A and B are shown apart, each in its own frame.
Chain A
Amino acid sequence: MNFEALSKSSGEWLKGSGIESDIVISSRIRLARNLAGFPFPNRASNFQKAEIENLLKDRIQTLEFEQKFEYVSLTALNTLDRQFLVERQLISRELAANDGPRGVALGNLESLSLMVNEEDHLRLQVMRSGFSLESAWETINKLDDYLEKKVSYAFHEEFGYLTACPTNVGTGMRASVMLHLPALDFTKQIDKVFRALQRINLTHRGLYGEGSRFSGHFFQISNQVTLGKSETAILNEIYSVIPQIIDYERQARVAWKKDNGQILQDRISRAFGTLSSATMMTSDETMELLSYVRLGIHMKMIEDVDINTVNELFIQTQPAHLQKLMGSTLDGEERNTARAKFLRSKLRSSGSTPN
Chain B
Amino acid sequence: MICKYCSKPATIHLTDIVGGQKKITNICKECAEAKQLLKQSDNDLPGILQGLISKHIGKEADELSKLVCPDCGTRYMDFRAQGRLGCPKDYNHFKLGLEPLIEKIQHSKKHLGKIPKRNPDLSGKRSDEILKIRQELKKAIELESYEEAARLRDLLREKENPDEF
* Chain A contacts to B: CB under 8 angstroms: 34, 36-40, 42-43, 55, 119, 141, 144-145, 148-162, 164-167, 169-171, 173, 201, 225-231, 233
B83 within 8 A of A: yes
Chain B neighbourhood of A231, CB < 8 A: 113-114
Question: How many B residues are at the interface, by size bracket?
Answer: 35 or more
B126 within 8 A of A: yes
Chain B neighbourhood of A233, CB < 8 A: 112
Q: Is the CB of A156 within 8 A of B127?
A: no
Chain B neighbourhood of A37, CB < 8 A: 88, 126-128, 130-131, 134, 160
CA distance A167 to B113 in the complex (A): 15
Q: Is the CB of B127 within 8 A of A154?
A: yes
Q: Is the CB of A166 within 8 A of B98?
A: yes
Residue in B closest to A234 when the chains form the complex, CB atoms: B113
Chain B neighbourhood of A160, CB < 8 A: 111, 113, 115
In the assembled complex, the CB of B116 is this many whole angstroms from the nearest CB of chain A, namely 5
B161 within 8 A of A: yes
In the assembled complex, the CB of B88 is this many whole angstroms from the nearest CB of chain A, namely 4
Query: A37-B128, A161-B111 given. 15 additional CB < 8 A pairs?
Result: A34-B88, A39-B72, A42-B84, A43-B87, A141-B114, A148-B118, A153-B116, A154-B127, A156-B124, A160-B115, A166-B98, A169-B102, A170-B106, A170-B112, A230-B114
B108 within 8 A of A: yes
Known: A37-B131, A165-B84. A154 touches B102 (CB 8 A): no
| Contacting residue for B108 out of A144, A149, A229, CB 8 A | A229
Known: A148-B119, A229-B108. A170 touches B127 (CB 8 A): no
Known: A36-B88, A43-B72, A152-B119. A166 touches B113 (CB 8 A): no
Residue in A closest to B92 when the chains form the complex, CB atoms: A156
Interface class of chain B by DSSP: loop
17 contacts between A and B (CB under 8 A): A37-B88, A37-B128, A39-B72, A40-B86, A149-B163, A151-B119, A152-B130, A152-B160, A153-B116, A153-B119, A161-B111, A165-B85, A169-B91, A170-B113, A225-B108, A230-B112, A230-B113
B107 within 8 A of A: yes
* Leading 3 A-B pairs by shortest Cβ distance: A228-B108, A160-B111, A37-B130
| Contacting residue for B84 out of A34, A36, A40, CB 8 A | A40
CA distance A160 to B85 in the complex (A): 15
B18 within 8 A of A: no
Chain A neighbourhood of B124, CB < 8 A: 36, 156
CA distance A228 to B108 in the complex (A): 5
B110 within 8 A of A: yes
B38 within 8 A of A: no
Q: Is the CB of A156 within 8 A of B111?
A: yes
* B86-103 interface (Cβ within 8 A of A): 86-88, 91-92, 98, 101-102
Q: Is the CB of A228 within 8 A of B106?
A: yes
Chain A neighbourhood of B134, CB < 8 A: 37
